[in-house]
Structure 1
């Protein structure tokens, strides 16, 4: 045995020496093609294998033609051998055939590593070649594990793509367009992302700048910190949703011998038709099983990602899409309650964006959150009327105040708070406030006393009522029980009758109707006013047909901007006028 190994080693070294000399003398495409043809023709030329692998080294600058030729030859060589090769962790026996297969397996692992590095290499200029490299890599994933989906290779690829700064977007787009339509590819993508996020150090995620490595040799730059979190989010957010999975759904797999097939392969439609109803029942059961398994991996991947310290831009993107792209497909949406309540407690625009998902958990999944109305009340600030996501916020605010079981003091506090804000918000905000108060008064007849409530001085000893016109509402109070809103009135709304913007002054007249008669009144659709702005009001006004135009007519030319009767009791002095008069 020892003599066989020594002779093979001498033959190998001799072949390597001859091939190296030949490479140095002639390094054209015909030589690369000849190396591949010899490798495929006989085992005697097995030493051509490492030579062809050298052309796939991302640290060397080989012409694209050399890379393409060696890639095709190596793929043709490894594809028929993969079902017979041992695993990467298997140890060889003393049998020469076992030693040979173990060595070939090590070269296959090296081939896969070259494909991963080459797909992410910034030196690979041709996108068509990069796509071919990725397709070859996915073929290895498809059949590299004794014909089954090779999750280890795929995990290495996703790990390298997430940690890379260069060309990650290009590969992600290829995955989205070509491979994310396969159920098993999505399944193992979720598994890989969960492993990556669980292995991250929280302190490491706070790094802002990427740790740049030596890029002169063509290897990809390694990302870290917040850039790494962004890369993970880019991948997990672009995986198609699971909405097409169901009891009667058709699914497509990249590898037929995947984790979802008990019999070893997926049956074709013709076989299903021949086997009849019994086969159809089994297929329905397998579809439900696939849906459950993918939901579980989907949930684990997202929950592990949301535990990371997210950059503010990623945080906002997640909150915007969470109620549509994540919550409907989680195995248990209540798992998000900690993340959403923590986000809602932050305040500002983050709270506004978290409200949609939190509202879904409360109304559809039974989440109890007693602090909802207190936090919602605190969000009513003038800045909310110019926020980017104000339209969705106002619609959710109206929905949260829709229940007729709300106590009167709570509805009155919101009505009074909105009424006070009408004095400082833009005209578009005034329209939203009028619509919200209109709905509040119609839903809660117990607060209709706020429309016109006079100070009657019931207790003569009450010092707070000694002066007429005092508003007992405490605008700074955060406790809804202590705002004294029920002892106040909506006097701020009366000032809107004389608002400079005609739509506001016209719309406020709707509050003069008797809103307690529900059969004769209807609620106002908040969505018609929630996204308003100066531009929308202007466009609406210029569309109006004006029948009469007000004109200013003076019998005599005015000598001053205001008449003396406009400001009774006021005297205006001007030093400049007095100086001119003295002269």
Structure 2
């Protein structure tokens, strides 16, 4: 029995040794094919053999793929300046026929590299990085020394439609190539083309002529496509504004931004010569101003095309959160976002809160007129706003929107009353920020100071509307700011905060009581200090606070009940034990 086991074990070991020896022999054969190809044209037939090893359907091992890539890249790189365009037809000259055939094999090489970059069978990430680097080298020099935009577009198209490897490829591009201005430039162009031909309703890819979609598994839903496009467009770093010392780094400086009109180039260069800022370049690279203008144009087209798509709700929220910082400053004409932002603002709820930042920038910095801003802003004042994720930014923008001294008294009074009414149901952190907001409103708009203490003129008669004296005239359900009757009311809700159960709220209200009477010695409250408050922040502040006086109670005798009999005359309290 033992001898049989030893025999089988020896056979297995012998089989594994044979497989390793065969693999090493084949690896040497592949390496030899590459050496022969590089040595002489007589071995040109080795070119198709090496290309077949890169075919994803051939199931080649990583060692064979790597060796083939190294040999083929070494073969094609010296021939780049001689290769004709892909669409060129060969002449009767044997050299022309040869170069045209080599060009077709180079296109096949690029196609296999693109397919390998997204192939889920390529388990080794280092090998995938080699594939991407080789592909980008072809993009750099494979078009007679110019940036090969068509190859790069196929690569971006493939990456966007990839199901599994899009994030991996995007991380590689972002870490190594998105620092080059020309790579970002052509990425925007590719994204715009993809979005323009995207069929999100059908949820399927529109194939490119030289890309095998079936092999690369590109059947994915429209929602996944939009997610992938957003991940790419949001990963591209913002380009710097041109300055005196701005020098853009390029992956390939030849022929990228050279399609500018002569008049435009002459005009910008003339301005630079006037100020002595012209810098000559050996590669005839245009000035930073021209490059920046071109980048803004492509950036704007890509983003505006993307925002037209039916964005999933998670992408929609991410876009709204970053739009005012990552997009608006770099658009050629930010006012183009007005339709997108006003539609978002009209949705209501958290979407309106998230779109307010960008809309506020368009109104204050780019001259957008939006008459319904305050009506929609007033409608957002709901109890749920105090637990919203982006409440801190909302309260700061609310304070900024109510800052203008030109606001009519009825509008300022309506916001003050709406906020004070919310103070009755808001958490303690909400009471703090509401007090700060109302305090600033009263300081900015003296015409509504009557809300601080307003008494009825006639305590016995009814007013013209039939409301009895002592009843608040403010209509909390009214959406028309002109009809809320806020100016006929008072801020009695804030007075109740003086007796709030949370000590920080009552202390804050008491500390601001004298501010309105001594305006010259006080300033507005910084809402930012209270906008992000919560139970946790209040608790931490109370724990750090030094207490000077501690309330104590002394009893001559230990009390036997919660209430004494003198507190409730005529009542007696007996415990259950005495009854028994």
What TM-score comes out, normalization by structure 1 length? 0.86
Q: How much has 1:59 moved relative to structure 2?
A: 2.1
Q: Aligned pair 1:251/2:248, yes or no?
A: yes
Asked if the contact 1:205–1:224 (Cα under 8 Å) also holds between the matched residues in 2, the reply is: yes
Q: Note closer, same or farther for the CA distance 1:573–1:336 as it changes in structure 2 (3 Å cut).
A: farther
Across the two proteins, how many residue pairs are aligned to each other? 537
Q: Note closer, same or farther for the CA distance 1:181–1:25 as it changes in structure 2 (3 Å cut).
A: closer
Q: 2:230 maps to which residue?
A: 233
Asked if the contact 2:241–2:292 (Cα under 8 Å) also holds between the matched residues in 1, the reply is: no
Q: How much has 1:61 moved relative to structure 2?
A: 2.0
Q: Specify which of 196, 212, 219 is matched with residue 216 of structure 2.
A: 219
Q: How much has 1:157 moved relative to structure 2?
A: 0.1
Matches within 5 A, 1:448-463: 448-457=449-458, 460=461, 462=463
Q: 1:547 maps to which residue?
A: 548
Matches within 5 A, 1:74-473: 74-204=72-202, 219-261=216-258, 280=279, 286-457=287-458, 460=461, 462=463, 464=465, 467-473=468-474
RMSD: 3.1
Q: 2:538 maps to which residue?
A: 537
Q: Distance in 2 between matches of 1:472 and 1:504?
A: 26
SS in 2 for 1:187: helix
Asked if the contact 2:474–2:488 (Cα under 8 Å) also holds between the matched residues in 1, the reply is: yes
Asked if the contact 2:257–2:286 (Cα under 8 Å) also holds between the matched residues in 1, the reply is: no
Bigger mean CA deviation after superposition, 409-418 or 32-41: 32-41
SS in 1 for 2:344: helix
SS in 1 for 2:216: coil
Q: Note closer, same or farther for the CA distance 1:202–1:431 as it changes in structure 2 (3 Å cut).
A: same
Q: Note closer, same or farther for the CA distance 1:67–1:489 as it changes in structure 2 (3 Å cut).
A: same
Q: Note closer, same or farther for the CA distance 1:192–1:446 as it changes in structure 2 (3 Å cut).
A: same
Q: Note closer, same or farther for the CA distance 1:563–1:426 as it changes in structure 2 (3 Å cut).
A: farther
Q: Distance in 2 between matches of 1:281 and 1:293?
A: 19
Q: Note closer, same or farther for the CA distance 1:102–1:469 as it changes in structure 2 (3 Å cut).
A: same
Q: Distance in 1 between matches of 2:308 and 2:251?
A: 31
Q: How much has 1:558 moved relative to structure 2?
A: 5.3
Q: Distance in 2 between matches of 1:240 and 1:50?
A: 40
Q: Note closer, same or farther for the CA distance 1:201–1:521 as it changes in structure 2 (3 Å cut).
A: same
Q: How much has 1:362 moved relative to structure 2?
A: 0.4
Asked if the contact 1:378–1:478 (Cα under 8 Å) also holds between the matched residues in 2, the reply is: yes
Q: Distance in 1 between matches of 2:135 and 2:460?
A: 86
Runs of 4+ in 1 over 4 A off after TM superposition: 24-27, 281-285, 463-466, 554-569, 571-574
Q: How much has 1:465 moved relative to structure 2?
A: 5.8
Q: Distance in 2 between matches of 1:343 and 1:492?
A: 33
Q: How much has 1:452 moved relative to structure 2?
A: 0.5
Q: How much has 1:484 moved relative to structure 2?
A: 0.5
Q: How much has 1:281 moved relative to structure 2?
A: 7.3
Q: Note closer, same or farther for the CA distance 1:177–1:44 as it changes in structure 2 (3 Å cut).
A: same
Matches within 5 A, 1:2-17: none
Q: Distance in 1 between matches of 2:437 and 2:458?
A: 31
Q: Note closer, same or farther for the CA distance 1:49–1:384 as it changes in structure 2 (3 Å cut).
A: same
Q: 1:519 maps to which residue?
A: 520
Q: Distance in 2 between matches of 1:280 and 1:98?
A: 41
Q: Identify unmatched segments of 5+ residues in structure 1.
A: 1-23, 208-213, 264-276
SS in 2 for 1:388: coil
Q: Note closer, same or farther for the CA distance 1:37–1:176 as it changes in structure 2 (3 Å cut).
A: same
Asked if the contact 1:455–1:465 (Cα under 8 Å) also holds between the matched residues in 2, the reply is: no
Q: How much has 1:222 moved relative to structure 2?
A: 3.6
Q: 1:67 maps to which residue?
A: 65
SS in 2 for 1:383: helix
Q: How much has 1:510 moved relative to structure 2?
A: 3.4
Q: Distance in 2 between matches of 1:513 and 1:119?
A: 69
Q: Identify unmatched segments of 5+ residues in structure 2.
A: 1-21, 206-211, 261-275
Asked if the contact 1:117–1:220 (Cα under 8 Å) also holds between the matched residues in 2, the reply is: no
Q: 2:490 maps to which residue?
A: 489
Q: How much has 1:45 moved relative to structure 2?
A: 1.8
